[in-house]
Copies of this chain bind each other. A is one copy, B any other.
């Protein structure tokens, strides 16, 4: 067979930063030693720095859903009134978690591909002053749409409710002024813009959220924010940490700091812009044209074509794993990711491959049309190479 390099081009797990991957080889380390405490402390400090917050940051050995669970089980009580913005699969996950813990949730839904407006949140808060929390996705990974986090945050900040933001694919792809706007819980995951494999969840927690924790009564044990805060202050985790991933994270965060969070975000934004330009030039339709985020761009398959064919063709022809739609969107859309360790060379290859796949499957396009549109974005932005020393 011809050479086909395996390329992971999905919005999580994302492409891995090689030195971070290699750092896992040193994981014959014990978690109750000063060497490891240094790595753990450096991760917590660097996370604070790249997230741009003075809030406490905690880590858990879990996937991002674990931090979503921790938010509800640590900060709320059965019967608490909350508002959930649901505009896709991960919004539905907030709804499920709220339900599992017996919260009384006012669900503000938007169809897949659209978003919940800040005005709806403001109106819902006004209608129920007893609301204790508002849940949202900064970037809804299942559709590629991004919520207007700043405006929502400002609306929530005026009330007693806390604003809990699943920023799992938002961090590193959009500006999020956690302290300035008033994000009370900000959730991240290792396998996203942080460029390492899945298995770690992060949370930034505001003083307002900590205050809510004091009166919360839902039971929890593994996810215990207060205990984890105390452990973190001592450079440790409460339970045995995922040492290999912590070592990888320490290395990846070094790189993210070197690139700089604003540049990392700009990188995702430019790739997203170039992707939109490319698929538009190929006369494909964007799935979330009104509120496109920069973590991932969802594109509708051409009429009469199952998007699964595109996903399969990418794998078979190019060894590239791109994302299908999730849930009810499966077969309708495919998703091109931009978050983290992605560059223009990746994107040029994806668009060129897409052109070949469209042609091979009865949807003729002129070779190079999409690529040229992406190149224009590159040229206009005059993206400079990152000078990085290993």
A2-30: which have CB < 8 Å to B? 6-8, 10, 12-13, 15-16, 21-22, 24-25, 27-30
Contact B198 A65 (CB under 8 A): no
Q: How far is the CA of A101 from the CA of B28 in the complex (A)?
A: 35
A101, A221, A238 interface centre (most CB from chain B within 10 Å): A221
User: Is B21's CB under 8 angstroms from A222's CB?
Assistant: no
Q: Of the listed stretches A56-64, A178-186, A256-264, name the one at the interface; the rest are far from the partner chain.
A: A56-64
Q: Mark A33-53, 1 if CB is under 8 A from B, else 0.
A: 100000000000000000000
* Copies in the assembly, this chain: 2
Is B62 within 8 A of A222, CB to CB?
A: yes
A279 to chain B, nearest CB (A): 21
**Residues in B neighbouring A191, C-beta threshold 8 A:** 240, 243
Alpha-carbon distance between A109 and B279 when the two chains are bound, in angstroms: 67
Q: Does A383 contact B (CB under 8 A)?
A: no
Checking B6, B30, B69 against A28 with a beta-carbon cut-off of 8 angstroms, the contacting residue is B6
**With an 8 A cutoff between CB atoms, is A233 at the interface?**
no
In the complex, the chain B residue whose C-beta lies closest to that of A220 is B100
Can you spell out 9 A-B residue pairs with CB atoms less than 8 angstroms apart?
A13-B240, A16-B27, A31-B198, A62-B222, A63-B240, A66-B239, A198-B244, A219-B219, A242-B242
Q: Is A135 an interface residue (CB 8 A)?
A: no
The interface bits of chain A over 121-153 (1 if a CB of B lies within 8 angstroms of the residue's CB, else 0) are 000000000000000000000000000000000
Judge if A197 is at the interface, Cβ distance under 8 Å.
yes
* Residues in B whose Cβ lies below 8 Å from that of A102: 219
> A240 to chain B: closest CB distance in Å?
4
A366 shortest CB reach to chain B, Å: 31
Q: How large is the interface on A (under 10, 10 to 19, 20 to 34, 35 or more residues)?
A: 35 or more
A297 at interface by CB-CB < 8 Å? no
Specify which chain B residues have a CB less than 8 angstroms from the CB of A239 in the assembled complex: 63-66
Contact of A321 among B30, B68, B69 (CB under 8 A): B30
Question: In the complex, A242 Cα to B246 Cα: how many Å?
Answer: 13
A6 contact set on B, CB distance < 8 A: 28
Query: For A163, what are the chain B residues with a Cβ–Cβ distance below 8 Å?
Result: none
Question: With contacts A28-B6, A30-B13, A197-B242 known, is A219 near B101, CB below 8 A?
Answer: yes
Chain A interface SS verdict (over half): loop
Q: How far is the CA of A63 from the CA of B231 in the complex (A)?
A: 15
Does any Cβ of B come within 8 Å of A295's Cβ?
no
Chain B positions within 8 Å of A7 at CB level: 28
A218 within 8 Å of B by Cβ?
Answer: yes
A29 is contacted by which of B8, B33, B78 (Cβ under 8 Å)?
B8
Which residue on B lies nearest to A244, using beta carbons?
B197
Q: Which B residues lie within 8 Å of A31 (CB)? A: 13, 198
Residues in chain B near residue A33, CB distance under 8 A: 315, 321
Which residues of B lie under 8 Å from residue A218 when comparing CB positions? Answer: 219
Which one of A25, A28, A315 has the greatest number of beta carbons of chain B within 10 Å? A28
Identify the closest chain B residue to A168 (Cβ): B240
Residue A72 interfacial (CB < 8 Å) = yes
Whether, in the assembled complex, A73 has its beta carbon less than 8 Å from a beta carbon of chain B, the answer is: yes
Q: How far is the CA of A135 from the CA of B64 in the complex (A)?
A: 29
A101 and B27 form a contact (CB under 8 A): no
Q: Is the CB of B199 within 8 A of A245?
A: yes
Nearest CB in chain B to that of A247: its residue: B197
Shortest C-beta distance, A252 to chain B (Å), equals: 13
Known contacts A7-B28, A101-B219, A242-B242, then 9 further A-B pairs from the complex at CB < 8 Å, ordered by chain A residue: A10-B30, A16-B27, A22-B25, A31-B198, A97-B221, A100-B219, A100-B221, A191-B240, A222-B223
